[in-house]
Structures are given as C-alpha cells and as structure tokens.
Amino acid sequence: MVKSLSKRIGNAVILLLAVLVLNFTLIHIAPGDPVEVLAGEMGGATPELLAELRADFGLDQPFHVQLFTYLGNVLQGNLGYSFYYDKPVTELIFDRIGATLLLVITALLFALFVGTALGIASAQKRNSLLSNVVTLLSLAGFSAPVFWIGIMLILLLSVALPIFPIAGMATADEPEGNFAYILDVVWHLVLPALTLASIYLAFYSRLSRASMLEVLESDYIRTARAKGLSRFLVVYKHALRNAVLPVVTFAGLQFAQVISGAVLVETVFAWPGLGTLAFESILRRDSPTLLGILFFSAVLVLVVNIVVDIAYRIIDPRISAK
C-alpha cells in the first residue's frame, strides 16, 4: 500500500512538472510580446528601453534558462503576478479555491448518492417506469450544455418562481449570526450544485444501473438468495459494494471534467470561485492567472485521484491483497 502510494505520488510530481513545462512553452510560442504590451500600456517606449525591460525580466535569456527560472519560482510558491488584480496569482487562487471546492464536492456527492440510488432502484425492475425515466434523463443530461441547464433553472426557479437567488454566494447585506450566514450560503448553493450535478447524475445512474444488473446475476448473489436472505439485504449488503466500484473509479477519473464543468457553472451563477476567476482572466487577457488556475486544477485532480485510489482499496480489499 505504502509502496504503491509513493509510486503514485512520484508519478503525480512528474505529471505536474510536465504541466509546468507545457504552460511555459505555450506562453513562449504564443504570438504577442509581453514587453511591447507593457510598453504600450506605458504609452510607448524607445527600442533601448524595450531592450532594457527585456533584460530586466530575463526575456533575453535562452529558452531553457527562462524555463528553469520559471520552474524555480513555482517551486517557491510563486506562480506569477496578475497585473490586473495587482496580486500574486497564488494569493488570488487561495482566495477563490474554497468556493470552488464547496461547489464541486457538494455537486459530486449529490450526484454520487442520488445517481447510485436511482441506478440501483431502476435495476430492480427492467422496463419499469423508473428505469425508463432514468434512461431518458441520462440521455437529456448528456445532450444539453451544462451552462444552459443552469440558465434554464435560473429562468424557472429564480425568475418565474422566485425561490432561489439568481447569482452569487451570499446576500450582499450579510444576515446576522453564523447560522443565518451558513443558511444563506446553502440557499445560494442549491441551484449551482444541482446544475453541476445534473451531468454526472445522469452518468452515475446509468453506470450503477448497468453494474448492478451485472452483479445481481453473479453466483454469490444467487447463493445468498438461496440461503433465504431477503432481497433487500442481498441488494444493499452484498451487491452494493461491488456494484459501486465502477462508479467510484469513474468519479475519480472524471474529476478533471468536473472542474471544467465548474468553470461554466460558476460563470452562469457568478459563484466566486476559480471558474469565475478563469472567466474574468479571459476577459482581461490575464494569462498568468489563467495558467496558474490550470496548474492548480491539475494539482487538485492528482490529489483527488490518490484519495480515490485509497477509497477504492477500502471498498475492495482484493486490490491491496494482490
């Protein structure tokens, strides 16, 4: 366990270095000279000044020297500086990461629990009404753009029927007291989390349904039934553990895509997380911030993958036995 874990962490570090190299290469080969942009903002500069600026920023150095300087900076926790926000990128990211994690984790847990429950329930009876509804919903969830689902939910549940707030994470004039504040945030969280969950809800219900159907046909389930155990006990005690394995695997594999979804959902609901930060940095053409977010999400994805790996071993002890 420890050995395979340290191998995974080593692997993760290599992947992160590769992300940094990619980031740097992209900036390097992209059209547009940062020094000329800067000079443009200062209102023009002589060629001598341009050369001086270039030397100041180390832009006259060869590619590999610049790359190593960049890597060294990142290792010291310096992901660059956002001129628009006038703040270091790491600081910006740490300001926003909490909101994103809250949204993503709520949506994922919701999708996992409800999706698995729907899938298992619809696996009990093929061609039942529930089973058809699940199939239909999952088809719809695959086909509609997630940001559009969010906008439609706003039109329905915030505009036509004003139940939920339209945007943001908390009411502008904060309600008194901790409990009221938490309630306020939860109230704001409902629609974005539901929107983000919708894609994965469909997916998990389909996956757990297929996997449950397969497990229910295996010999050990028949044995358990033959012993006289109730159907309920067999499904929820014997079959569930095995049926949920592929769902857990996919939840880990898909985490990168969940972050992509969060970028869109946060933008729709003006949820103050990394996604809106990414959206804003596109508007401002603030590439250090956008690249910082890309790097940081890769870190997040790798951490989640390692956590899922551990969870997987707890659910299925056969894996560590091998």
DSSP string covering 213-238:
HHHHTSHHHHHHHHTT--HHHIIIII
Question: Looking at this protein, which amino acid is placed at residue 34?
Answer: P
Specify the residue, 23 or 242, whose C-beta has the smaller distance to another protein: 23
Q: Contact between 287 and another protein (CB under 8 A)?
A: yes
The CB-of-174 to another protein minimum distance in angstroms stands at 24
The CB-of-137 to another protein minimum distance in angstroms stands at 12
Choosing from 53, 153, 196, 301, the residue that interacts with another protein (CB under 8 A) is 301
Task: Dihedral sign for Cα 42, 44, 46, 48, please.
Answer: positive
The CB-of-52 to another protein minimum distance in angstroms stands at 26
Within 6-25, which residues bind another protein (CB under 8 A)? 15, 18-19, 23
Q: Contact between 126 and another protein (CB under 8 A)?
A: yes
Q: Contact between 294 and another protein (CB under 8 A)?
A: yes
At residue 275's C-alpha, the angle toward residues 167 and 152, to 5°, is 45
Q: Contact between 161 and another protein (CB under 8 A)?
A: no
The Cα–Cα gap between 57 and 90 comes to 20
Residues paired with residue 245 on neighbouring β-strands, in sequence order: none
141-165: b or e for each residue (b if 16 or more CB lie within 10 Å)? Answer: beeeebbebbeebbeebbeeeeebb
The CB-of-126 to another protein minimum distance in angstroms stands at 7
Within 227-286, which residues bind another protein (CB under 8 A)? 253, 256-257, 259-261, 263-264, 267-268, 278-279, 282-283, 285
Q: Contact between 112 and another protein (CB under 8 A)?
A: no
The Cα–Cα gap between 215 and 168 comes to 43
Q: Contact between 92 and another protein (CB under 8 A)?
A: no
The CB-of-260 to another protein minimum distance in angstroms stands at 3
Among 204, 213, 190, which residue's Cα sits nearest to residue 137?
204
CA 80 to chain centre: 23
The Cα–Cα gap between 102 and 99 comes to 5
Within 172-231, which residues bind another protein (CB under 8 A)? 213
Choosing from 49, 75, 133, 140, the residue that interacts with another protein (CB under 8 A) is 140
Residue 158 DSSP symbol: I
Choosing from 103, 207, 235, 291, the residue that interacts with another protein (CB under 8 A) is 291
The CB-of-151 to another protein minimum distance in angstroms stands at 5
DSSP run (H or E) holding 87: strand 87-88
Binding site for another protein (CB under 8 A): 15, 18-19, 23, 26-27, 30-32, 126, 139-140, 142-148, 151-152, 154-155, 159, 213, 253, 256-257, 259-261, 263-264, 267-268, 278-279, 282-283, 285, 287, 290-291, 293-294, 297-298, 301-302, 305
